[in-house]
A and B are shown apart, each in its own frame.
Chain A
C-alpha cells in the first residue's frame, strides 16, 4: 500500500486549496484501487487509516471504499512473530473501521451514509451492528456542535424521510434502525462536547428549540411508531416501541428549560396518552396489550404523573386506574408487578406485608378446577422473557406457599403445568414447597413425572429443591433416596441416564448440583466427597461455575474441604493446578487446605508454576490468540493467602523450597516464584538469605532473576548484590531492576521517579564498599541524565499536543 505522511494529508485538508484537493481526490482513487486489488486485511486497514486523514474531502471514494469493504471480506492472515504467530485484522475490524469513516462524513453525505448504516444494522453481525447503531445515533441525535453552527434539524428530517420511504414491511425488517432513529428524534436534549484548551473538555447539555418544524417532526415520528406497533406481532418488539415512545414526554436532562419547550412536551404527552390508550384497550375497553406492555405503561404513568399539578396528570392517572382495574392485570401486578411501585405507594415493609397478605388471600381462592388458574398463571409467566426475572419473586413465593398450603391442588397444578406452559419453569417452587411441609410423597411423584417425561431442564429443579438453606438437621430432611437421586444425576445414570442424551450446555443444572453437594456434605461426607470429585472431573467446562460455588459453600460453612480424604485432596490439588487462574474465591479454598497441611499449598503453587512453564513451551507455535490463558500465580492474593504466608509456620519452608527451583537462566519459573514472593508480601532479603550467604555468582544470579523486572527489586538488596560481584550479567540485571519504575502518574511521572531514584542513590555514594559506591555513582549519573531526557520528551509531547489542538 502507498505510504503517505498522514500529517501532511491533514495539512492539505486544512488548506482547502484546489491543487491540494485535486491531489487528495487522486490519492483517494488510488487507495480505492489498492483496496480492490488487495486481499490483505492489514494492508487494507492501513489504507483506511490513511483515508481517514482526509475523508471529509473525498466522500464519494469513501462511500465506495466502505461498500467494497462490506461486500468483500477477506480471511485474516496469520502473522509469524518470534514467539509464535498472531492473527491479522479480521473482516469485522475492517468493517468497523469503514463505519468509523462513514461517521466522519455523516453530515457531509448523509444520503449515502444512512442507507449503508441501515444495511449494516440489518446484517446483524454483533460488532459491526453495534458500531453502525452508534453511528446512526450520531446522525440522528441533536448534536450541540452541529446545532450551534448550522442551526437546522436537517439531519433529523433527512433520516426520518429515509425511514418513511420504507413500506411497513421494510420498516419491520429494519426494526432496530427505526427504533434507534425514533429514540433520538424524540429526545428533547442536545448534547456534545467542546474543548477550549488542550487539557479541558466541556460537555454540553441543552434543550432543543421547540420550533414548529420540530413539533411536526416529532408528531410524524410518534405516528410512525404507533403504526409500526400495530404492524409488528412480536411482543418484545411492541414493548420496545412503547419504551421508545416514552422519550416523547421526557424533558431534557440536567438542564432547565423554558415554557415553550414545556408546552411542546405537554402537548406531546397528551398525544402519547391517546396513543397509549389505543395500544392498551380495544373499543370495548378490554385490555389487549400484553402484561409486560401494560406494566411498562402503568409504571411510566405512575412515575411521571404522581404530581397532580402536572399537566395531563388527571388523564394519565385515569388511564392508570383503568389498567389497574383490569382483573387479569391485577393478578399480574400482585405476582409480578414492580416492587418499587409497591414500595413507593406505602413504604417497603408495608408493601411487603400488603403483598403477602394479598397472596395469602389469593391462595385461599385457588381451587379446583386448576385449568383456569393455570391459564392465568401461564399468561403471567409468559412475560418472563420480556420483563425482569426479579419481578417474579412473588410469583415463586405464591407457588411455594400454594404447595405448602394446598399441596393437593398445587400438585395437580404442577402436573398440568408439566404438560406445557410457562409455569413449568417455576417447578422448583412446587418441589421446595412439598419438601418443606414434608410431603415427600408429592415430591417423589413430581420427580418421577419429570423422569418419565425425560425433562432435562427440570432436573435442575429437582436438585435445587434439595438445597435447603434453612438450618435443618440434614439427617432428618435428606433421605437416602434423595442422596441416591443426587448420585444418579451426578453420574447421569439410572433414572437419569437420559441426561447423557442432552448435548447442550446446561450450567443451571451443574450450578445446582455443586451447591446441592456442598449443602448436603455433612449428610454423608465420604459419599458427597466422591460425588464432588466426580462432578469436577467429568465437567471441566463448568470450572468457572464450580469455583464460585466453592466460595459460597465456605461462606455458608456447609463444607470443610480439609476433611477430605488424601485421595480427595490429591484430586483437588490437581484440579486447582489446571485451573486457568486462581481467582479470589478459590484462593480461600487453597488457603484453607494450606492451613490443614502447608505441603498442599506448596504442591498447588509449584504444580501451577511448572505447568505454566510447560504450557508456554508447548504453545510456542500457537497463535497468541489461540493460546490458552494460564496465570500460574494470581496477581492479587486473597487475605487468607497473605495471612498464610505471614503467619503459618510452614510458610518459610514452602518459600525456600520454591526458591530452590530458581534457575540462572531467564525462565517463567523465576518470574512466577518472584511474583509469588512479592504478592505474598514476603521479604526478599529473608527469602534470599541462602543465596546471599553463598555469595557465588550463580547464587546471586538466581536471586536477581527472582526479583520482579516490572516492579523493580528491593533497593538495598540490589546494592548489596552489586557490592559482592563484578559479574557483568548480574550488574546488567541489577541496572534493569533499578530502572523499573512500576506505575507512575502524571506526564512527568517517570522523570520524577528517576529523581527519586537519584536521591536514593545518594545514600550509597559514600559507601565503604568501593564497588557499591562506584555502582551507585554510575546509576546516580544515569538517573540524572534519564530524568533530563524524559523531561525533554515530556515538554515536546506537551507542545505536540498544543500544535494538534483544535478548539
Chain B
C-alpha cells in the first residue's frame, strides 16, 4: 500500500466528515476505507473532547473503522483516535451503550497519536486491516484450487474435504494466530493508553478536590462571563475540559460539597477547601507563587 485518497463529505452525513481510501502499490483502490470525524478547539493545551453518545453508537455499529480527528488550532496539533468497539468497551468502559445514561463521554488524546509527526502509525494500522482482508482472500483462492484437483472422486473428495476442513481449520488457526500477532502492537498501544487513561482518571478525584479548593480560593467564583478568564486559567491549570468541569461541578454539587446561587458557586465548607489546598501546597502538587502569578490579572480580582 502506497497512498491514500482523502475525501471530504461536507455535511452530507451526520456522524462522518469524510473518509480515507487506501491504495495498492500500483495506485489502484484497495476498497478499504477509514471514516473520520473532525473536531477542533481554540483552547490552548486542550487535548480532550467531550464526545456525544450518538457518535459512539454510530462507531460501535459501523462496519468501517472510524477515527476521531481532533485539531488543536493554537497548539498546531492534529490528534487522532480510532473509535471502535474495543475502544468503547475497554478504554471508555462502556459495556452497554443503550444503558449508558450520559449525553457525552470525554475522549483524551495522546501525544503519540498526532498526525504528521506519527502518520506512519496511522498508516500502519490501516495496512494491518488491509492485510487481514487480503489473507482471507488468499485462503479462499487456495481452497477453490484444491477442490478442482479432487473432482469425481468421492472418497478422495471426502479425504479432500477433510483435508480441506483440516487445511481450513489450520488456515483459520494460522489466520487467527496471525491476527493475534498482527494485533499485538495495537494491544501494546492500547495497554499504554489504558495505563495513561487510568492514570488520568485516577487523578480525577484529586482534580475535583483541587477544583473545590480553588472555588474557595478564587472567590467569588461565577460560572458565567464574569469569571471567564479565571475559569479558563483554572481549567488549564487542572488540565480539564469544560465538559469535565461540568462533570466536576455537577458531582460536587450533588455531594453537597459545592453550593450554587444564581451563577455563583461556592464551597459549603471552607475549612475543607483550606485543608485540600494546604495538602496540595505541602505535597508540591501546586505552587502558591505560581498560582498567585497565574491569577494576578485585574479580571481575576
On A, residues with C-beta under 8 Å from B are 2-9, 11-12, 14-20, 22-23, 26-27, 792-793, 795-796, 798-800, 803-804
Pairwise interchain contact A17-B292, C-beta atoms closer than 8 A: no
B262 and A796 contact, CB distance less than 8 A: yes
State the majority secondary structure of interface residues on A.
helix
- Tell me which residues across on chain A come within 8 A of B298, comparing CB atoms: 3
| B residues near A792, Cβ cutoff 8 Å | 262-263
Interface CB pairs A-B, < 8 A, 14: A5-B301, A11-B216, A19-B282, A27-B292, A792-B262, A792-B263, A796-B220, A796-B264, A799-B259, A799-B264, A799-B266, A803-B216, A803-B219, A803-B266
In contact, B261 and A8 (Cβ under 8 angstroms):
no
Nearest CB on B from A274, distance (A) = 56
A residues near B289, Cβ cutoff 8 Å? 23, 26
**Of the candidates A7, A15, A793, A804, which one forms a contact with B218 in the assembled complex, judged by CB atoms under 8 Å apart?**
A7
A17→B296 contact, CB < 8 A? no
Measured in the bound complex, the distance between the Cα atoms of B262 and A26 in whole Å is 38
- On whether the beta carbons of B262 and A15 are closer than 8 Å, the reply is no
Alpha-carbon separation in the docked complex, A27 to B267 (Å): 27
Q: Give the total of B residues in contact with A, Cβ under 8 Å.
A: 30
Top 8 A-B pairs ranked by shortest CB distance?
Answer: A792-B262, A23-B288, A11-B217, A799-B261, A796-B264, A20-B288, A796-B262, A5-B295
Contact with A793, one of B262, B266, B291 (Cβ below 8 angstroms): B262
Whether B282 and A8, one on each chain, are in contact in the complex, defined by CB atoms closer than 8 angstroms, is: no
Instruction: State the CA gap A795–B266 with chains docked (Å).
Output: 13
Which residues of chain A have C-beta atoms less than 8 A from B264's C-beta?
796, 799-800
Contact of A12 among B266, B270, B288, B296 (CB under 8 A): B288
Residue in chain B with minimal CB distance to A9: B292
Q: Tell whether, in the assembled complex, residue A795 and residue B292 are in contact, meaning their CB atoms are under 8 Å apart.
A: no
- Known A16-B278, A800-B219, A800-B266; further 16 A-B contacts with Cβ < 8 A: A2-B296, A3-B296, A3-B298, A5-B296, A7-B218, A9-B292, A12-B292, A15-B278, A19-B281, A19-B282, A19-B287, A19-B288, A20-B288, A23-B289, A23-B292, A27-B292
Q: Whole-angstrom distance between the alpha carbons of A106 and B274 in the complex?
A: 26
CA gap between A793 and B216 in the complex, in Å: 19
Contact (Cβ within 8 A) A795 B274: no
Report A-chain residues with C-beta under 8 Å of the C-beta of B287: 19
Please name all residues of chain B whose beta carbon is closer than 8 Å to the beta carbon of A3 when the two chains form the complex. 296-298, 301
Chain B residues numbered 272-292 whose CB sits less than 8 Å from any CB in chain A: 274, 277-278, 281-282, 287-289, 291-292
Is B300 part of the binding interface, using a Cβ–Cβ cutoff of 8 Å? yes
- Min Cβ gap A786→B in Å is 15
Contact partners of A18 in chain B: CB under 8 A: 282
Q: How far is the CA of A19 from the CA of B283 in the complex (A)?
A: 10
Known A-B contacts A23-B292, A792-B263, A795-B262; A8 and B217 likewise in contact (beta carbons under 8 Å):
yes
Chain B residue nearest to A16 in the complex (CB)? B278
Q: Are B291 and A8 in contact (CB under 8 A)?
A: yes
Query: CB-nearest residue of chain B relative to A804?
Result: B219
Closest beta carbon of chain A to B84's beta carbon, Å: 45
- B218 near A8 with CB under 8 A, answer yes
Q: For window 236-287 of chain B, which residues contact chain A by CB distance below 8 Å?
A: 259, 261-264, 266-267, 270, 274, 277-278, 281-282, 287
Task: Return A131 CB to nearest CB of chain B, in Å.
Answer: 27
Shortest Cβ gap from A272 to chain B (Å) = 50
Q: How far, in angstroms, from A3 to B299 measured CA to CA in the complex?
A: 10
Bound-complex Cα distance A22 to B297 (A): 22
Residues of the B chain whose Cβ atoms lie less than 8 Å from the Cβ of A23: 288-289, 292
* Chain A residues whose CB sits within 8 angstroms of the CB of B291 once the complex forms: 8
User: Considering only CB atoms, which chain B residue lies closest to A793 in the complex?
Assistant: B262
A796 B277 Cβ-Cβ under 8 A: no
Whether A15 lies near B295 (C-beta < 8 A) is no
When the two chains form their complex, are residues B274 and A14 in contact, meaning their CB atoms are under 8 A apart? Answer: yes
Contact indicator A5/B282 (Cβ below 8 Å): no
| Residues of chain B from 15 to 64 with CB closer than 8 A to chain A in the complex | none
Task: State in angstroms the CA–CA spacing of A2 and B259 once bound together.
Answer: 32
Chain A residues with Cβ under 8 A from B288's Cβ? 12, 17, 19-20, 22-23
B219's contact among A4, A7, A26, by CB below 8 Å, is which? Answer: A7
Shortest beta-carbon distance from A24 to chain B in Å: 8
CB-defined contacts of B300 to chain A, threshold 8 Å: 5
Q: Which of B172-200 contact A (CB under 8 A)?
A: none
Shortest C-beta distance, A56 to chain B (Å), equals 16
Task: Closest B residue to A803 by CB, please name it.
Answer: B266
Chain B residue numbers with a CB within 8 Å of A11 are 216-217, 274, 277
In the assembled complex, the CB of B212 is this many whole angstroms from the nearest CB of chain A, namely 13
Bound together, the chains give a CA A16 to CA B288 distance in angstroms of 12
Task: Give A804 to B216 CA distance when docked, in angstroms.
Answer: 10
In the complex, which residues of chain B have a beta carbon less than 8 angstroms from the beta carbon of A12?
288, 292
In the complex, which residues of chain A have a beta carbon less than 8 angstroms from the beta carbon of B296?
Answer: 2-5
Complex interface: chain A residues within 8 A of B220 (CB):
796, 800, 803
> What is the bound-complex CA distance between A3 and B295, given in angstroms?
9
Q: Which residues of B contact A795 (CB under 8 A)?
A: 261-262
Chain B: CB-nearest residue to A21: B288
A642 to chain B, nearest CB (A): 45
For residues 85 through 122 of chain B, which have their beta carbon under 8 Å from a beta carbon of chain A?
A: none
A2 / chain B contacts, CB cutoff of 8 Å: 296
Give the CA-CA distance A19 to B289 in the complex, in Å. 9
Q: Is A15 a contact of B263 with CB atoms below 8 Å?
A: no
CA distance A96 to B51 in the complex (A): 58
Complex: A722 Cα to B150 Cα, angstroms:
103
Max count, chain A CB within 10 A of own CB: residue among B217, B296, B297:
B217
Residues on A with beta carbons closer than 8 Å to the beta carbon of B266: 799-800, 803
Q: Please, how many angstroms separate the alpha-carbon atoms of A11 and B286 in the complex?
A: 15
| Shortest beta-carbon distance from A31 to chain B in Å | 13
B277 touches A803 (CB 8 A): no
How far apart are the CA atoms of A62 and B93 in the complex, in Å?
56
Q: Output the least CB separation between A42 and chain B (Å).
A: 15
Q: How far is the CB of B235 from chain A (nearest CB, A)?
A: 17
CA distance A6 to B292 in the complex (A): 9
Tell me the smallest distance from the CB of A29 to a CB of chain B, in Å.
13
The answer to whether B295 touches A8, judged by C-beta atoms less than 8 angstroms apart, is yes
A residues in contact with B281, CB < 8 Å? 15, 17, 19-20
Report how far A17 CA is from B259 CA in the complex, Å. 26
Which residues in B have their C-beta under 8 angstroms from that of A800? 219-220, 264, 266
For B216, the closest partner residue in chain A by CB is A11
Closest to B298 in A: A3
Chain B CB within 10 A, most for which of A2, A16, A796: A796
- Choose one: B259, B267, B278, B301; the contact of A6 (CB below 8 Å): B301
Q: Are B292 and A796 in contact (CB under 8 A)?
A: no
Residue in A18, A22, A795, A799 with the greatest tally of chain B CB atoms within 10 Å:
A799
- Taking a contact as CB atoms under 8 Å apart, the answer to whether A17 and B261 are in contact is no
Give the complex CA separation of A799 and B220 in angstroms. Answer: 10
Considering the chains assembled together, what is the distance between the CA atoms of A16 and B277 in angstroms?
Answer: 11
Which B residues lie within 8 Å of A799 (CB)? 259, 261, 264, 266
* Chain B residue at minimal CB-CB distance from A23: B288
Question: Bound complex: CA of A494 vs CA of B237, how far in Å?
Answer: 88
- Interface residue from B267, B274, B278, B292 paired with A8 (Cβ < 8 Å): B292
Chain B residue numbers with a CB within 8 Å of A6 are 301
Within the complex, the shortest CB–CB distance from B287 to chain A, in Å, comes to: 7
A5 to B227, CA, bound (A): 13
- Report which residue of B261, B281, B282, B288 has the largest number of chain A beta carbons within 10 angstroms of its beta carbon: B288
Does A15 contact B301, Cβ atoms closer than 8 Å? no
Alpha-carbon distance A798/B261, docked complex (angstroms):
9
Per-position 1/0 for B197-229, Cβ under 8 A of A: 000000000000000000011111010000000
Q: Considering the complex, give the chain A residue whose CB is closest to the CB of B266.
A: A803
* Chain A residues within an 8 Å CB radius of B218: 5, 7-8
Determine the distance from Cα of A800 to Cα of B274 in the docked complex, in whole angstroms. Answer: 17
Contact A803 B262 (CB under 8 A): no
Report Cα–Cα, A19/B292, bound state, in Å.
13
Q: Report A-chain residues with C-beta under 8 Å of the C-beta of B262.
A: 792-793, 795-796
Q: List, in ascending order, chain A residues with CB within 8 A of B263's CB.
A: 792, 796
Evaluate contact between A7 and B282: CB separation under 8 angstroms.
no
State in angstroms the CA–CA spacing of A2 and B293 once bound together.
Answer: 10
Q: In the complex, are the beta carbons of A803 and B270 less than 8 A apart?
A: yes
Distance of A555 Cα from B217 Cα, bound (Å): 64
